[in-house]
Structure 1
Amino acid sequence: MTDLSTSYLGLALRNPLVASASPLSQGVDRVRALADAGVGAVVMYSLFEEEVHRDQLHDLMVTETHENAFGEAQSYFPSTAAQGGSGPESGGADRYLRLLEQAAVSVDVPVIASLNGSTPGGWVGFARSMQDAGAAAVELNVYFVPGDPHTSGRDVEDRHVEILQQVKAAVTVPVAVKLSPHFSSMGEMAMRLDRAGADGLVLFNRFLQPDVDPEQLVVTTSTGLSAPAEARLPRTWIAILHGHVTASLAATTGVDQAEDVAAYLLAGADVVMTASALLRHGLGHAAVLLDGLDEWMRRKGFGTLDELRGRLAVPVGVDHDAYERAGYVAALQQLRRTYGDPLGARS
């Protein structure tokens, strides 16, 4: 009998499969269904910085409109989002808090709130409201795509660190940072966030990539479900970072079958997140992934996750640049053996 229990962000999980932020958590019944499907934790769908700002602006406008009324009239002010109001004036932020509070007491697995933004500011304080509503942790999704070509790489990195520090100052629960792979030195960025107090790193976020429709002459925007081939990049970086950061490492992107879960764990992931597989195959696929992982572990002789986690990570103490270069050269040599050397054919 294998033991699938693990730890993530200091939280005890019954298994390493985590439902990542997606429409699957937009309702208490949906969160309960995810927990019943067997996942070890649920990350709520993301609350966006813009929603928090919009609710804060609405509350301010309502308050200022009536600020000169006599004192007894204060009772007709609608409750603000931060106060947990539930009236008809409640906005998206308030609805998020109510759902989070109900979900946290409805399931026996950790419920992690997701906060999505791109600028430092007062919105990050909303993480405290998430904590107060029962979030076991906060996943900070810094979705910042610098469209200004004059923005330096260091400015982008500094913004991530500043937002993390502001959120950490607002809460006592663990905070994970969901990262994109688009940094000039991914490893150094991860270690900066680790030193700044990140309790976990989630690798990687998938940015929206607009496209061009040459027939309609328009720019299209859409996003699709991830595919297993996309797992190579996050798996590479998890293998590099394993043993070099104290933060937990969460894998996301490209999880479809049990073999994908096992590969991420071998690279060094503490947990493996998925949304695409559950959207594509249904919630029952969580049991398929977990049963498949259990069968694979028994077949390979592993009794616990600690016995296999990081077995194929980049060894600590090696020259990382030389290690990656050697892998690159080996891959090219494999290509030549498979497809031949077109240059050699001409000589």
Structure 2
Amino acid sequence: MSDITTRYLGFSLQSPLVASASPVCDSVPNIRELEDAGVGAVVLPSLFEEQLELESNALDEDLWRGAESFPESQSVLPDLRNYNLGPDGYLDLIEGAKAAVDIPVIASLNGVSPGGWAEYARLMADAGADAIELNIYSIATEPAESAVEVEKGYVDLVRQIKRTVRVPVAVKLSPFFSAPANIAMRLDDVGANGLVLFNRFYQPDFDIESLEVVPRLTLSHPDELLLRLHWTAILSDHIEADLAITGGVHTATDVVKCIMAGASVAMMASALLQRGIPHATSVLTDLRRWLDEHEYDSVRQMCGSMSRQSVSDPTAFERGNYMRVLSSYAFRSGTLKK
């Protein structure tokens, strides 16, 4: 039987399938079940910067008690009391998970500014987190804020966290950089141990009857994997940090593609939310079958085999392929024919 073990952030994992941050990973029983299903590691749901601010300022209860009296002060703050366990409960979850399972437990911090990140990253590591994933959810809405400033903030934050903790640090990136390869290299240079491609920005919708902007959560679709494969295949030949793909991973075929592009692991959330934790077992069974049928001895054997420098035609990842795709279709009698 083929060996499906891999390495990520310096750890030996029982499989390349990682449960990414979602409600699936918010309890010790679920995390234990994920380990039994064969998942290689778990990323806990993110602890948000806004939660850290509420905690550090001791304003949580007072703020909500006065919500009716001061509506303008509350209108810009989400109700985070019930999102997850909060800062203290989060540390308890880390400790409980580490006591219950042998697979790596990765804590997740979500925010945009240094603030209390460094201190909470240290507390997470002290609680037993094997690694920290920085989910830098930054939406640059101010016209005066330049790309240079945004990118410098990313790099400075990672440098600060690396100086604070001894555990590995992964950075979950947005796909909306002008030069993704450059920011990846700069994060690699300041010590990021892993890069996770890509964050999924949740887009608000318009309620045209109430004239309100409303939140909308849409689970991932396999088509989203293509963008991630593209950049993983390009970056895997240029940086030392491990690569992880998240967003669009639903099947064993998706996992194979991720590894071939050069990722160390494929992260899954939506498929687990839709189909339950036993889906991980099915995916890994199919993965083993595929490896055996295609005569691979191990997952590591095929890692990077479809990266930009490994394929016979690297232009498939470049502008030349764009023109080739367009020219592969012809318009005939009102229809598109291949």
The normalised TM-score by structure 1 is 0.85
SS of 2:42's equivalent? strand
Match of 1:26 in 2: 26
1:141 aligns with 2:154: no
Q: Which moved more, 1:301-310 or 1:191-200?
A: 301-310
CA–CA separation in structure 1 for the residues paired with 2:260 and 2:94: 33
Q: Which of residues 233, 239, 249 is equivalent to 2:233?
A: 239
Summarize the Cα distance change of 1:322–1:172 in structure 2 as closer, same or farther, 3 Å threshold. Answer: same
Query: Shift in Å at residue 316 of structure 1?
Result: 6.6
Displacement of 1:95 in angstroms is 0.5
8 Å Cα contact 2:174-2:197 kept in structure 1: yes
- Residue 275 of structure 1 is aligned with which of 232, 257, 269? 269
Instruction: Tell me the distance in 2 between the aligned counterparts of 1:37 and 1:260.
Output: 18
Find out whether 1:45 has 2:45 as its counterpart: yes
Contact 1:37 1:286 in 2 (8 A): yes
Alignment partners' CA distance in 1, 2:42 and 2:316: 38
Following the alignment from structure 2 to structure 1, what is the Cα–Cα distance between the partners of residues 290 and 60? Answer: 56
Residue ranges of structure 1 left out of the alignment (5+ in a row) = 63-90, 343-347
Distance 1:28 1:284 in 2: 16
What residue identity is the alignment partner of 1:5? T
Map residues 2-81 of structure 1 onto 2, 5 A cutoff: 2-58=2-58
Cα deviation for residue 325 of structure 1 reads 1.4
For residue 301 of structure 1, what is the amino acid of its counterpart?
E
Q: TM-score, normalised by structure 2?
A: 0.87
1:299 to 258, 272, 293: 293
| 8 Å CA contact 1:45, 1:114 repeated in 2 | yes
State yes or no: 1:153 paired with 2:144.
Answer: no
Matched, 1:334 2:328: yes
Structure 2 residue corresponding to 1:124, chosen from 103, 118, 124: 118
Name the CA distance, whole Å, in 2 between partners of 1:306 and 1:150. Answer: 45
Q: Secondary structure at the match of 2:201?
A: coil
Structure 1 residue 123: Cα displacement: 2.9
Equivalent residue runs for 1:97-112 within 5 Å = 97-112=91-106
What are the Cα deviations for residues 286-320 of structure 1, in whole angstroms up to 9, with x where unaligned? 01111111111111111111221111110179997
Taking only the aligned residue pairs, the percentage that are identical comes to 47
How far residue 321 of structure 1 moved from its aligned partner, in angstroms, is 7.5
Give the letter aligned to residue 279 of structure 1.
Answer: L
Partner Cα distance (1:35, 1:269) in 2:
21
Larger Rg: 1
Total equivalences in the alignment: 313
Single out whichever of 117-126 and 227-236 deviates more from structure 2: 117-126
> Once superposed, what is the RMSD of the aligned Cα atoms?
2.4
Of 198, 208, 223 in structure 1, the residue corresponding to residue 192 of structure 2 is: 198
Matched, 1:264 2:273: no
Q: Which runs of 4+ in 1 moved over 6 A?
A: 59-62, 316-322
Letter in structure 2 aligned against 1:19: A
Distance 1:60 1:162 in 2: 29
Assess, with a 3 A threshold, how the Cα gap between structure 1 residues 341 and 156 changes in structure 2: closer, same or farther. Answer: farther
- Structure 1, residues 165-185: CA drift from partner, whole Å, max 9, x if none? 111111000000000001111
Q: Secondary structure at the match of 2:4?
A: coil
Write the letter of the residue equivalent to 2:129. A
Greater mean alpha carbon deviation, residues 91-100 or residues 190-199: 91-100
Q: For 1:45, what is the secondary structure of its paired residue?
A: coil
Q: Distance in 2 between matches of 1:323 and 1:113?
A: 33
Q: Could you say what secondary structure the match of 2:203 adopts?
A: coil
Deviation at 1:214, TM superposition (A): 2.2
Matches of 1:227 and 1:60, distance apart in 2? 36
Alpha-carbon distance in structure 2 between the residues aligned to 1:44 and 1:146: 26
Structure 2 gaps of 5+ residues are 63-84
Deviations 1:202-252 (A, max 9, x none): 000001211212233221211111000011111100000012100000000
